[in-house]
Amino acid sequence: MSLPTASALPRALQCAASQALPRIHRETTSYGDFGSGVHAYIVRAREIGAEEALLEIPDEAEHRPLCAALPLDQLPAGGRMELAFAYNRNTGIARILGDNTGRDYSTADPEEYCGTADLIGIRDARGVVIDWKTGRYAGDPATAPQLLFFALVLSRLSGVREVEGSFAYLRDNGTYYQDSALYDELDLSAFAEELRTLPHRIEAVKASVRRNEIPIVHEGTWCKHCESLPYCPAKTSLARSMSGEIVSLRDQIGSLTPAQAGAVYARAMDIMEIAEMVIAAVKDQATLCDIPLPDGFVLRQVDTRLPTKVDADIADEVLRLGFGDDVAKAAVTMAKTTTLSAITDALRSVSPRGTLATHERRVMEAIRVRGGLREAMAPKVRKVKP
C-alpha cells in the first residue's frame, strides 16, 4: 500500500478511513497554489535575491503581494530548504531523497513515509524544523504530525536528541510570527510507534469496506480538503438528510436562533465541499470528452484567454510621455510591476469626464506597438452550447 505523505499525516492519523475509502483526485486548490507559490519564492529569493525572484512571479498571481511584503531579512536563515526525506516505518531508518524534488517520491519503497521540509537544520546542537504557513491557524505545534515527522527524520539522520518544530505564519502586512514546540527522544519515539502502526489501522478499515461494512470515521478540522469526502458515511448521510431541507431552511433562516443558524451554516458548508469535489472530478473527465448536461449544454475543455500581462518598463515609458511622471508613478510600482487595472486607475485622475476610455485605448495601443502586452490562452472546462 502507498503510505500517506507527511502533509497527509494529520488527517490519516486522526481518521484512518480517509486513506481507505475511495478518493476523487483533484488538482491543487487555489489555496494550495498560493502557499506553494510563497514557498517557491522564499527559496528563489535565497538563491538569486528578493528583487529578481519577485520578477519571476506573474503580476496577476494572488501570492505576489504577500511575497513582495515578506521581511526576508528577518525570516529564519541557515539550514536547507525544500529537502525531501523518506522514513521506513519498520526499520526506523531515514534517508534524504533530494533537494527540490517537486514532491516526487517515486524512488521511495512501499514501507517508507515521504515528505518535503520547508526549512530544516541544526542550530546549537538542537534540530530545527520550520513549516511556512500562509493561511489560518495550523494547530498546536506540540502535537503536529507534519512537524513531528521531520523532527523524527532529522533526529534519526543527525543524532540530535532535541528538535524544535515551528509553524512560521507569514502575513501580507510584512510581518510573521513563529509558534514553536520542543520534542525530546520520548516524543519522537512515541510518534515513530504511531507511524509503525498506522498502516495496520488503514488496512483494517479497507478490509471492512471490502466486506461492505460501514467504516468508522472521525470528523474534525482534518475533513477539509479530504479526497474521500464524497464517499465518507458521515458526510453522505448528512447530504441525504439535508437534500430535502435546503429550500425550506433557506426560507426560514430569519426565524432561526443564532445558534441554529450557525449549525445550519456548518452543515451546508460540509455539503458544499462535497459538491465542489464532485464538480472537480466531472470537470477532469470533461478534459477527455464532452459531458452532456440536462439543459442541453455540455461541459467542454475550451481555450480561454488569460489576463493580459503588461511590461512595466514599457508602460512606464508610455505613461510618462503621454501623461507625465505622476501618472506613471501611480501606475507602476517601485518594484517595476503594473496591471491593466492599475493603469486605468492612474489615468482616471487625469481624464476629464467621458475621456477615460479614449485614453485607455491610446495607452494600450502604444504599449502594444512597443511589444509590451503579452496575451496567452489556456485550456479550461466551461459550460458551452454543443
Rg (alpha carbons) of the chain, rounded to whole number: 26
Q: What is the 8-class DSSP label of residue 3?
A: P
- Of 6-15, 151-160, 173-182, 236-245, the poorest mean pLDDT is in 236-245
Considering the segment(s) 6-206 as one domain, its CATH architecture is Alpha-Beta Complex (3.90)
Asked if the model's pLDDT at residue 200 lies above 90, the reply is yes
Q: What is the 8-class DSSP label of residue 122?
A: E
Helix, strand, coil fractions of the chain, as percent rounded to 5: 50, 20, 35
Alpha-carbon distances of 167 from 120, 129, 135, 145, 178, rounded to whole Å: 12, 9, 11, 12, 6
pTM of the full structure:
0.67
Asked if the model's pLDDT at residue 4 lies above 90, the reply is yes
User: Band of the pLDDT at 366, cuts 50, 70, 90?
Assistant: very high
User: Band of the pLDDT at 253, cuts 50, 70, 90?
Assistant: low
Q: What is the pLDDT of residues 115-132, one digit of tens each?
A: 999 999 999 999 999 999
pLDDT at 108: 92
Phi, psi of 287 (to 5 degrees): -70, -15
Asked if the model's pLDDT at residue 148 lies above 80, the reply is yes
pLDDT at 28: 47
Residue with cell 526549512: 119
pLDDT averaged over the chain? 86
Q: What is the pLDDT of residues 255-305, one digit of tens each?
A: 778 887 887 787 777 777 777 767 776 777 787 788 899 898 999 988 877
pLDDT at 319: 94
Helix pair angle (356-369, 340-348), 10° resolution: 140
The full set of domain ranges for the chain reads 6-206, 232-285, 309-378
> Bigger pLDDT: 1 or 381?
381
Q: What is the 8-class DSSP label of residue 44?
A: H
Selection from 136-145, 153-162, 262-271 with the highest mean pLDDT: 153-162
pLDDT at 334: 79
Q: Region 106-118: what's the mean pLDDT?
A: 94
C-alpha 330/C-alpha 326 separation (Å) is 6
User: Band of the pLDDT at 238, cuts 50, 70, 90?
Assistant: low
pLDDT at 142: 96
C-alpha 244/C-alpha 19 separation (Å) is 30
* Residues 6+ away with beta carbon under 8 Å from 97: 84, 85, 86, 105, 107, 108, 114
Q: Please state, as a whole number, how many other Cβ atoms lie within 10 Å of the Cβ of residue 357.
A: 11
Q: What is the 8-class DSSP label of residue 268?
A: H
Q: Please state, as a whole number, how many other Cβ atoms lie within 10 Å of the Cβ of residue 46.
A: 15
Q: Region 215-220: what's the mean pLDDT?
A: 84
pLDDT at 1: 58
- Of 34-38, 79-83, 113-117, the poorest mean pLDDT is in 34-38
User: Band of the pLDDT at 363, cuts 50, 70, 90?
Assistant: very high
User: Band of the pLDDT at 30, cuts 50, 70, 90?
Assistant: very low
What percent of the chain stands above pLDDT 90? 45
| Alpha helix segments (H runs only) across the chain | 9-14, 30-48, 50-55, 64-69, 145-158, 185-210, 233-243, 246-252, 258-286, 312-323, 325-331, 340-348, 356-369
pLDDT at 316: 93
C-alpha 261/C-alpha 167 separation (Å) is 33
Q: Are strands 298-305 and 291-292 parallel, antiparallel or unpaired?
A: antiparallel
SS3 69: helix
| Grid coordinates belonging to 359 | 485614453
* Residues 6+ away with beta carbon under 8 Å from 201: 16
> Bigger pLDDT: 213 or 26?
213
Asked if the model's pLDDT at residue 44 lies above 70, the reply is yes
Q: Region 164-174: what's the mean pLDDT?
A: 90
Amino acid residing at 277: M
Asked if the model's pLDDT at residue 31 lies above 50, the reply is no
C-alpha 286/C-alpha 386 separation (Å) is 13
Asked if the model's pLDDT at residue 308 lies above 80, the reply is no
pLDDT at 29: 44
pLDDT at 55: 86
